[in-house]
Amino acid sequence: MKYLIELSFLGTNYYGWQKQLAQPTVQAELNKSLSIFFRENISTVGCGRTDTGVHAIQFYAHFELDSAINDFKDVIYHLNAILPPDIAIKNINLVPEDFHARYSAISRTYSYLITKNKNPILMDRAWFFGKTINTQLIKDNLSTLIGIHDFSAFAKKMPINNYNCNIYDATIMEHKDYIIFSITANRFLRQMVRSIVGVLISIGTNVTEEKLINELLLHKDRSKIKIIAPPQGLYLTRVTYPEGTTN
């Protein structure tokens, strides 16, 4: 039987989601906790990957189990007691056998938090950027990102043949003390959101010209990116699946 877990985590102490041989990861902790509770070797499959220090408000992973789960609330309670305090399971539900946490996802939304004032409470949860940012100038350039583009210039080199991503929505919200970027797409490449935020900040602070986004999409020259936003401000905030999957 196949089950889907909804979880959230603070990524500060982890080398991303994906299991590694010698480093702590969220997947390794989840696999270990599931295996302890169900007393069998369990391996999860995540909805995507997160880099070192990146957080998730909503993340999904599926796993297979020989027996049926009868009391989901009880299982969630005991698993959360086993897991470290910076990882929390929010929900578990049964899914069809052909469901896949990664490939069945319709869209993903990442948000990036910038704080305008130095705040030690947010040291590992936001990017402190003390310079003045022209958010209107950034808003004027967000539409350039919308649609299907080759985002290879915005991504760390990966062993893939296709760097095309379809960005459905990109927004920036400014408040008194902080700025939030949100980007929704069918998929994301490694360091893509952090690179996009870095480019937008460089435009909003007049470090680079507004035409940089078009140049990067056209010429695919990653060396032109002068700023890559640090990982601690990045959050996976939403993953969507076909209706009824996550009920």
- Looking at residue 166, the DSSP 8-state letter turns out to be E
Angle formed at CA 111 by CA 108 and CA 115, multiple of 5 degrees:
175
Q: How far apart are CA 208 and CA 21, in angstroms?
A: 40
Residue 169, classed as helix, strand or coil, is strand
Q: Which residues contact 98 (CB under 8 A, 6 or more apart)?
A: none
Q: How far apart are CA 216 and CA 208, in angstroms?
A: 12
Q: Is 51 a catalytic residue?
A: yes
Q: Which residues contact 123 (CB under 8 A, 6 or more apart)?
A: 232
**How deeply is 231 buried, as exposed, middle or buried, from its count of CB atoms within 10 A (0-12, 13-18, 19+)?**
buried
The token pair at 234 is 């990045």
Catalytic residue of the set 51, 66, 98, 124: 51
Active site residues: 51
